[in-house]
Amino acid sequence: MKSKLLILVFALTLAFNSNGQWVAQYSGFTLPFFDASFLSADKGYVVGQFLTIVETHDGGSVWNMQMDTTTSWFIGCYFTDSSTGYAVANGGQMYKTINGGANWNLLYTGTTTPLYAVYFVNADTGFVCGLWTMLKTTNAGATWIPYTVSTSLNRLFFTNVNQGYSIGQSGVILKTTNGGGYWAPQTSGVTGNLNGIYFTDTSTGWIVGDGGAILKTTNGGTTWSPLTSGVSTGLSGVWFITSSIGYVVGSGGVILKTTDGGVTWVPQISGVSVDLNKVVFPTSSVGYAVGAAGTILKTVCGTNPTASFIDTGTRTVGFVFSGTGSIDSVLWSFGDGSTSTTTNPTHAFAANGSYTVCVYAYSTCGNDTACKSVVVSGLGAPSTIWPSEYLNIYPSPATKAITISAPNNIITVAIVNFVGQTVHSQQYNSPQVQVDVANLPAGLYFVKVNGSEVTKFIKE
């Protein structure tokens, strides 16, 4: 049985691991996309060249054009809710929708310099950055306050309403701790352009840039440490699902994944060779990457499955699958030759002992296994002490042996003589046992089954 189980596990592993993880979506466009904003796994917006905005509400099966002109390029976009969104362009334009993109209206920003990114910390307060430009609004874009900066800024990220970051050319990192009132420079340690930024909390963040640069901070940007990406191409976008699991995209179709917070990065198969500019994960499983030539990629494998389980009971054991990630199926091995494909099975073991129980989790995103030792005890122990009418002891009188049968397993049998002395004691694990009494003197005896004196017999 064990060999058949291993063959099945191996076959399933080959089948699931052979599937690709990033799938190209048909956008209907060949011009480049630069940014994306997703409200859920199904609903999102992508912006690009010639003020192009495309939208999907079915997870990328269909992309609908909302706006298209022959001037300028949309470089950044941000949605604060399902109705309200903003898009900024390299001609200094900013557009806003309040009806989910059905209509886009031009806002007055007071600048004609290129704008590269927009970020809102709440419905009213937002920031825009670009070429030597930083703007802030506190009234949902009705008016914008300019801030003086001396460099080109490419991206923005805020961890809360007060703490935010902006990155840009020549390794520039700026940080604010008072909602944009003052932006203090931080030391990046690099001279190339920085293109993407993401924080999982107020302390931990990552920045990516030219030449395969990846930087990480664990103290809110007081120090930035370089990480080894394994590539030398430009990196443009970064997103972390958890503090451990993150993705980076860049030139030439590069997609990198880490599961240890950026210590190591593993190349992913993107299936494209064009530049990828942004990666976003609206859920822990579903992610999108956008780039040149109208490229939109989708994965449902943001996090690989993890297997774990909880066991309850010591006789008939219940098992609850507690793994995470996208799980297609599970296979249980109970360590006694039995298996199950039920998600939360119950298994009755035949004997006391320690069993190595394993659960195998499978999905198109990968596989995982969890095993642990489960101790089974108490098999055969009665749920009650039976009255004599539930026992059958025969023959009586007896000469050589007596047979005892009970509703449940008999664990112990003790024979006591008429003066209270135990003359025989033995352990069993069966509902019917045979006891040798040939050497007992003739007389009256009492039988204790599982510690209770319940009946008597006569030895001749």
Q: In this structure, what CATH number is given to the domain that contains residue 447? A: 2.60.40.3080
What is the pLDDT, as a whole number, of residue 16?
35
Q: Which two tokens stand for residue 405?
A: 């049968």
Contact 314, 301 (CB under 8 A): no
Place of tokens 């031009």: 106
pLDDT tens per residue across span 344-354: 998 888 777 88
Both 221 and 369 in a single domain?
no
Sheet holding 214-217, edge to edge: 194-199, 205-209, 214-217, 225-227
The pLDDT confidence band at residue 10, using thresholds 50, 70 and 90, is very low
Look at residues 266, 299, 332 and tell me which one is the last residue of a structural domain. Answer: 299
What is the pLDDT, as a whole number, of residue 19?
36
What is the pLDDT, as a whole number, of residue 425?
86
Both 236 and 334 in a single domain?
no
pLDDT tens per residue across span 179-209: 999 999 999 999 999 999 999 999 999 999 9
Look at residues 299, 333, 356 and tell me which one is the last residue of a structural domain. Answer: 299
The pLDDT confidence band at residue 427, using thresholds 50, 70 and 90, is confident
pLDDT tens per residue across span 198-250: 999 999 999 999 999 999 999 999 999 999 999 999 999 999 999 999 999 99
Place of tokens 């994944």: 257
Both 128 and 103 in a single domain?
yes
Quick one: DSSP state of residue 387? P
Q: Which of 190, 265, 258, 178 is nearest to 224 (CA)?
A: 190
Both 406 and 350 in a single domain?
no
Residue 383 pLDDT > 60:
no
Both 174 and 232 in a single domain?
yes
Contact 86, 75 (CB under 8 A): no
**Three-state DSSP class for residue 212:** helix
Global pTM reads 0.74
Contact 65, 87 (CB under 8 A): no
In 339-442, the DSSP E strands lie at 339-340, 346-348, 353-363, 366-376, 392-394, 401-417, 422-436
Q: What are phi and psi of 50, to 5 degrees?
A: 60, 40
Residue 60 pLDDT > 90:
yes
Both 206 and 331 in a single domain?
no
Q: Which residue range is the domain that position 444 belongs to?
A: 388-459
Contact 33, 25 (CB under 8 A): no
Contact 32, 50 (CB under 8 A): no
Give the chain's mean pLDDT: 88
Best-predicted range by mean pLDDT (114-123, 331-340, 374-383): 114-123
What is the pLDDT, as a whole number, of residue 15?
34
Residue 9 pLDDT > 70:
no
**Count of domains for the chain:** 3
SS3 content of the chain, % helix, strand, coil (to 5): 5, 50, 45
Distance between CA atoms of residues 457 and 428, nearest Å: 20
The pLDDT confidence band at residue 451, using thresholds 50, 70 and 90, is low
Give the H/E segment covering residue 22.
none
What is the pLDDT, as a whole number, of residue 3?
34
What is the pLDDT, as a whole number, of residue 458?
81
Residue 404 pLDDT > 90:
no
Mean pLDDT of 312-323: 80
Give the H/E segment covering residue 13.
helix 2-17
Distance between CA atoms of residues 230 and 217, nearest Å: 19
What is the pLDDT, as a whole number, of residue 1?
36
Both 128 and 263 in a single domain?
yes
Both 67 and 211 in a single domain?
yes
Both 193 and 136 in a single domain?
yes
Residue 454 pLDDT > 70:
no
What is the pLDDT, as a whole number, of residue 232?
97
Look at residues 251, 275, 299 and tell me which one is the last residue of a structural domain. Answer: 299
Q: Which of 60, 52, 69 is nearest to 26 (CA)?
A: 60
Count of Cβ atoms closer than 10 Å to residue 263 Cβ? 11
Residue 379 pLDDT > 70:
no
Q: Which residues pair with 436 in a beta bridge?
A: 401
Residue 137 pLDDT > 90:
yes
Both 13 and 58 in a single domain?
no
Both 10 and 153 in a single domain?
no
Both 207 and 250 in a single domain?
yes
Distance between CA atoms of residues 48 and 31, nearest Å: 7
- Looking at residue 306, which CATH number applies to its domain? 2.60.40.10
**What percent of the chain shows pLDDT beyond 70?**
91
What is the pLDDT, as a whole number, of residue 452?
64
**Three-state DSSP class for residue 209:** strand
- Looking at residue 108, which CATH number applies to its domain? 2.130.10.10
Distance between CA atoms of residues 170 and 386, nearest Å: 86
**Three-state DSSP class for residue 171:** helix
